[in-house]
Amino acid sequence: MKLTIETTENIEGADDPWTDGGQLSYRQLIWRRFRKNRMGVIAGALLLLFYMLAIGADFFAPYHYNEINMRLRHVPPQRLHFSVSDGFYVHGLKSVRNPESLELEFTKDMEQRHPVEFFFKDADGRRHLFSSAGPMFLLGTDRMGRDLLSRIMFGARVSMTLGLVGVLLSIVLGSILGTVSGYWGGWVDNLIQRIIEILSAFPDIPLWMALGAALPPGWSSIQIYFGITIILSIIRWGGLARQVRGKVLAYRESDFVMAARAAGAGHWHIITKHLLPGCYSHIIVIATLAIPGMILGETALSFLGLGIRPPMTSWGVLLEEAQRVTVLLHYPWLIFPAVPVLIVVIAFNFLGDALRDAADPYSD
Amino acid sequence: MRERYGLNAPLWKRYLIWISGFVRGNFGESFEYKREVDELIWDRIAFTLVISVGSLIFTYVVAIPLGIYSATHQYKWSDHLLTFLSFVGMSIPAFLLALSLMVFAFEIFGVPLFGLFSAYYEGAPWTWGKLSDLITHLWIPVIVVGINGTASLMRIMRGNLLDVLGQPFVQTARAKGLKEIVVVSKHAVRIAINPLISILGMSLPGILSGSAIVSIVLGLPTVGPILLNSLLNEDIYLAGTLIMMLSLLLVIGNLIADIALAWVDPRIRYE
């Protein structure tokens, strides 16, 4: 296959009779190959769905994430029932004091039925896709009686966007420094490469922990959010910069760059029009595969209490409550936030793998 | 008080004093424990090393055969299963695995999987009994820490071997009438295994990070819990020394990996 990704994206293919579509641009070719990978497409669709749920959490979640019910602490997940007369409903809750541990425990009150209402309007006048006038906790509640399902949806906002923003940051940093390093070479290259080596000599989680602990305690939630994002991307840009540098080094002496230079093109023109387009597919693949690492990093940091701080919530913050085995044995549903973490990370891995296969010109 | 810990000087001066002491083996004094950092860290570093080396061995011993199996059975259902498992293994955060294992162990065996020793041997002097007790406690953190690395290493081994198996010399070996097992084990695997040695250096950060966080969850006496504690209490000399030590371990590990690579592959020579 005589497909050259090195050149700009839209001409080859057009005059290359060997590509299967004849008139397809490189991007279309990638898309076509990507679509053939079923796991990749499913993963991509799943991620889109998760991001939609996260962004629209105000509407999709049945409650607000900080709605505290001190009388309904540690309610186990309630089952959803269906009957023709009532539609979907959950049973009411009866609290019973355990004679041994003297703790309040909840059981079903078979007499009571709280129907699930769609497009429910709560006391503040906000609409929810589904909610109920009575207590309805499909995944149970935490130690302050907050609905876990709603908290997971709101937590997705922080956890899932943090990975994206962090990767964006490391893309910007990595591409700029990688290009500079590869294009100009010399002592600049040397300096940047040594910095990358020093950064990669730190084990990431201990360093993240130290930097996370160094964030001032007085910061607001949003400052912490961006602080954590910067901390996570500060180590991860090195790998990307290396890859970009390698590509740029390879293209720098190639004929089309020579031609551009001979034609009087400036550095900026050569870099943006000739060198970087060749790296796009590479960058996208690396970025996709870097997102799960960031999500896991945030989760781990918050889990240890060094990341996102309440009242802001993220999957790591939710898992922090499940840290102790004794708590988990009593209230096993608190581990549930681990499920979306796993799904999202696996989906990103599959998506990145599919993109890599699709962007690889030798894959057919 | 501030005088004693040298906290009155500006930041850069304090750092210079600390780092020059560090080089000479004087790591400063821990605020919280009121003891020299030096006394606190060494056995913790030793346990970190034991767990890390253990997981490294586990990773390679498990990943290489599985990778070979997966590559020689490409696109069979067993390969698909292994691929899926490796994706799950790569995605599951170590601390979650540790947490769920603990809960399972408690439900099934009724014993808390906490720490590295049984209560009987805690603080006891080293004997054979204590050693065997350590080994019975050790395998769980070793596996938990090693799982992520095992999964990705298996994928790499599979990919490498598939690349090699497509090359002409393998075809020649087959055409000579060699048995498939000889072709794979004597010709292909030897080539395919080389890159794994250079990956050794790259998998070290993951293992050190993993051992830190798993130790916090499982309450193991390694660097992890004491690091977290020192960070939460702003015990800077202790925290700084621990991070420095972990980084040193990493650099030494990388050096060993490089030497091993040059030793195994005669084509690699550093000028």
Interface probe for B, chosen from A194, A209, A320 (most Cβ of B below 10 Å), is A209
* Residue B110 pLDDT class (50, 70, 90 cuts): low
Per CB-CB distance under 8 Å, the chain A contacts of B254 are 201
- Partners of residue A238 on adjacent β-strands: none
Q: What does the alpha-carbon distance between residue B17 and residue B38 come to, in Å, rounded to a whole number?
A: 16
* Residue B112 pLDDT class (50, 70, 90 cuts): low
Task: Report CB contact under 8 Å: A206, B100.
Answer: no
Q: What does the alpha-carbon distance between residue A180 and residue A187 come to, in Å, rounded to a whole number?
A: 11
pLDDT recorded at residue A46: 92
Task: Report CB contact under 8 Å: A202, B250.
Answer: yes
Query: Which chain A residues in 208-267 lie under 8 Å from chain B, judged by CB atoms?
Result: 209-210, 212-213
Helix axes B236-264, B194-218, angle to 10 degrees: 160
pLDDT recorded at residue A13: 43
pLDDT one-digit tens code per residue, B18-72:
777 777 777 777 777 777 777 778 888 888 888 888 999 999 999 999 999 998 8
Could you tell me which chain A residue has the CA closest to the CA of B105?
A325
Mean pLDDT lowest among A37-46, A325-334, B51-60, B81-90: A325-334
Task: Report CB contact under 8 Å: B247, A201.
Answer: yes
Tokens describing residue A117:
């209402």
Task: Judge whether B85 and B179 are in contact, CB under 8 Å.
Answer: no
User: Which of A158-167, A196-205, B133-142 has maximum average pLDDT?
Assistant: A158-167
Q: What does the alpha-carbon distance between residue B215 and residue B209 come to, in Å, rounded to a whole number?
A: 10
Residue A7 clears pLDDT 90, i.e. is over it: no
Could you tell me which chain A residue has the CA closest to the CA of B228?
A209
Q: Taking the mean position of all CA atoms in its chain, how far away is CA A304? A: 19
Q: What is the pTM of this model?
A: 0.81
pLDDT recorded at residue B68: 92
pLDDT one-digit tens code per residue, A324-353:
777 777 788 888 888 899 899 989 888 888
Interface probe for A, chosen from B158, B202, B209, B228 (most Cβ of A below 10 Å), is B209
- One-letter amino acid at A118 equals F
User: Which of A57-66, A91-100, B225-234 has maximum average pLDDT?
Assistant: B225-234
Shortest Cα–Cα distance, A106 to chain B (Å): 22
Q: What is the mean pLDDT of chain B?
A: 81
Give exposure, A103-139, as e/b (b: 16+ Cβ within 10 Å): eeebeeeeeebbbbbeebeeeeeeebeebbeebbbbb
Q: What does the alpha-carbon distance between residue B237 and residue B116 come to, in Å, rounded to a whole number?
A: 26
Sheet-wide strand order for A87-97: A81-83, A87-97, A104-121, A127-132
Is the interface score ipTM higher than 0.85?
no
Task: Judge whether A131 and A117 are in contact, CB under 8 Å.
Answer: yes
* Residue B136 pLDDT class (50, 70, 90 cuts): confident
The mean per-residue pLDDT over the stretch B98-117 comes to 72
* H helix or E strand, kind and range, residue A106: strand A104-121
Q: What does the alpha-carbon distance between residue A323 and residue A302 come to, in Å, rounded to a whole number?
A: 11
- Partners of residue A145 on adjacent β-strands: none
Alpha-carbon separation of residue A271 from A184, A186, A265, A276, A278 (angstroms): 11, 17, 10, 6, 10
Q: How many helices (H) and strands (E) does chain B have?
A: 12, 0
**DSSP helix, strand, coil percent of chain B (3-state; round to 5):** 75, 0, 25
Query: Which chain B residues in 111-170 lie under 8 Å from chain A, judged by CB atoms?
Result: 112, 114
Residue A11 clears pLDDT 70, i.e. is over it: no
pLDDT recorded at residue B143: 87
